[in-house]
Amino acid sequence: MEIFLQCSSEAFTSLSSQIRCLSAQWSKSQEQSWTSQNFSDQLVERVFGYHPMENEHKFLQTASTKHLMGDGLVVMTQAMMYNLQNLMLHSVGSGNGKVWQESGLFAYCYNIVFRAGYLSLFGNESPKGTGKESVEKAKEIDLQHSNDLFCEFRKYDQLFPNLAYGVLGPRGKMEAERLKRLFWSTLSVQKMRVKDNISGWISDQQQVRAELDMQEFMQDRFMFLLLWASQGNTGPSAFWLLLYLMKHPEAMSAVRKEVEEILKEAGQEVKPGGPLIDLSRDMLLKTPILDSAVEETLRLTTVPLLTRGVVQDMTIIMANGQEYKIREGDRVSVFPYLVHIDPEVHPDPLTFKYDRFLNADGSRKTDFYKDGKKLKYYSMPWGAGTTMCPGRFFATNELKQFVFLMLSYFDFELTNPNEQIPDIDIRRWGFGSMHPDRDIQFRYRPRI
Ligand code: HEM
């Protein structure tokens, strides 16, 4: 039996305590889970070719807590800064002066954020020597290789919804198979051995699997799963964030003011021939306005479907008193987007309000109500419970760094400022960050 719930905060609290996430179930009874009709196992198998192991979830959480949160984020922020600037400044080339360049906004944002995120997590090409030339050559290889990978990733991205639903046609299946093999090979343990700057998040997870004698080809497949989880959402979210800012001048000017003040406070300035911006983790903690704009963007454009396997018979009691008896083996799906666009919780819910998550005193707003009751879960772009996105702090940082650098280095505007914001492509409903149903052109040029 499958139940879909409109998520209310009470229902979700009771769900979280009594229903284990599917990945936790994997570890509970490995053999049973592997051979059972476990939805999530089948999905991971079909989409990534990976067989989950015992304690899978625990290892993921340990590595994520260590490297994608708290102090681990200092290192990741630096890596992301280095790669983002390399890619963004390279894309305007040298000697072009202040010439406008035109591009699809979705294509641009997804490309840059994917490649910078990928290089920061999976590492850079190792220079063949110590000279400047070798370093530049290694950078060139990174640029080319990450772009090639992005192009292939987008092909898989487009097949993904039908692949996950198991309804790909024969041609699509062949193409998905080709792409899977390409990713396994590109991200293979063997190729990773010769890279520099591999993040602790990746190397720890590789090491634990090697120590547990997981076969190398299976480790390669796991790397593809990590690539997917880490790079499929942030690029599309960066697109929506930049687009909303461009379509809402008051939001853009508030964010710009905040960014300029933070740079000034840190004694940094973009000037011709000057040093690159050095945006630290601490600086990124002082941006309440940008934080609210990010939260608002995710509220409007992140549409996950959270599916849980029921591990014991239970009754779910909804906020309105309605009861559902569900059995061990059933599946329950929660669709939090309905809360995201509930007008009682978020008035005028389809409008982007950059300060929706700000109190009058500039602090973060967390008080949202339904039927007079304060909600715990008023926005859930990252999911909830044990499988809540472990990359959420890193992802938020990536989005903020990207906006910071766009505002600092470039003038940019929509080619047609009156063009409407595209609709979301509903074929991806349930798969996290939404894509637009068409791209929208913009232009950009160096400010200095
Ligand atoms: C805007 C960007 C992102 C969004 C909206 C997002 C959203 C989500 C959602 C909704 C889930 C499922 C949660 C659940 O089932 O309860 C998830 C899982 C996950 N995310 Fe993210 N994510 C983003 C970026 C990232 C990044 C940058 C990383 C890693 C660097 C990451 C790593 C993961 C992993 C490993 C899981 C699986 C967690 C598990 O099964 O325990 N995500 N994410």
Task: Give 128 Cα–ligand 1 centroid separation in angstroms.
Answer: 35
- pLDDT tens-digit readout, 166-192: 899 999 999 999 999 999 999 999 999
Residue of 281, 262, 251 lying closest to 397 (CA atoms) = 281
Q: Which atom belonging to ligand 1 lies closest to the Cα atom of 201?
A: 30
Q: Is 233 annotated as a binding residue?
A: yes
Q: Read off the pTM.
A: 0.91
Q: Is the pLDDT of residue 14 over 60?
A: no
Q: Is the CB of 113 under 6 A from ligand 1?
A: no
Task: Answer yes or no: is the C-beta of 297 below 6 A from any ligand 1 atom.
Answer: no
14, 298 Cβ separation under 8 angstroms: no
Q: Mind listing the pLDDT tens digit for each residue in 263-305?
A: 999 999 998 888 899 999 899 999 999 999 999 999 999 999 9
Ligand 1: does its nearest atom lie under 6 Å from the Cβ of 146?
A: no
pLDDT given for residue 2 in this prediction: 46
CA of 306 to the centre of ligand 1 (A): 11
320 is in an annotated binding site: no
Alpha carbon 178 to chain centroid distance? 24
CB atoms within 10 A of CB 119: 26
The secondary element (H helix, E strand) that includes residue 432 is: strand 431-433
Residue positions counted in the chain: 448
Distance CA 232, CA 228 (A): 6
Taking residue 272's Cβ as centre, other Cβ atoms within 10 Å add up to 6
Q: Helix 105-122 to helix 132-165 angle, to the nearest 10 degrees?
A: 110
Phi, psi for 317 (deg, rounded to 5): -105, 120
Q: What is the pLDDT of residues 422-439, one digit of tens each?
A: 999 988 999 999 999 999
Q: What is the pLDDT of residues 90-114, one digit of tens each?
A: 877 655 568 999 999 999 999 999 9
The tens digit of pLDDT for each residue in 347-405 reads 999 999 999 999 999 999 999 999 999 999 999 999 988 889 999 999 999 999 999 99
| Residue 309, ligand 1, Cβ within 6 A | no
From 16, 340, 389, mutation site for ligand 1 pocket: most ligand atoms within 8 A of C-beta = 389
Q: Where are the beta strands (DSSP E) in 43-96?
A: none
Q: Give residue 132 CA to ligand 1 midpoint distance, Å.
A: 38
Ligand 1: which residue has its CA nearest to atom 16? 383
Q: Supply the residue whose CA is at minimum distance from atom 6 of ligand 1.
A: 382
Give the CB-side neighbour count of residue 376, counting CA atoms within 13 A. Answer: 13
Q: Which helix (H) or strand (E) holds 317?
A: strand 314-317
Q: Whose CA is nearest to atom 18 of ligand 1?
A: 389
Residues 363 and 359: their CA atoms lie apart, in Å, by 5
Instruction: Please tell me the predicted confidence (pLDDT) of residue 448.
Output: 82
When the pLDDT of each residue in the chain is averaged and rounded to a whole number, the result is 89
pLDDT tens sequence across 115-160? 999 999 999 999 988 888 999 999 999 999 999 999 999 999 999 9
With residue 298 as reference, give the H or E element that holds it: helix 288-301
Sequence letter at residue 82: Y
Q: With contact defined as beta carbons under 8 Å apart, do 406 and 412 qualify?
A: yes
Q: 2-446, superfamily in CATH?
A: Cytochrome P450 (1.10.630.10)
Q: Is 307 in the pocket of ligand 1 (CB under 6 A)?
A: no
Report how far apart, in Å, the C-alpha atoms of 254 and of each of 245, 280, 330 are.
10, 21, 48
Atom of ligand 1 lying closest to residue 57 CA: 41
Closest approach atom of ligand 1 to CA 61:
41
Please give the single-letter amino acid code of residue 392.
R
Pairing state of beta strands 20-21 and 306-309? antiparallel
Smallest CA-to-CA distance from 125 within 31, 36, 193, 207 is with: 193
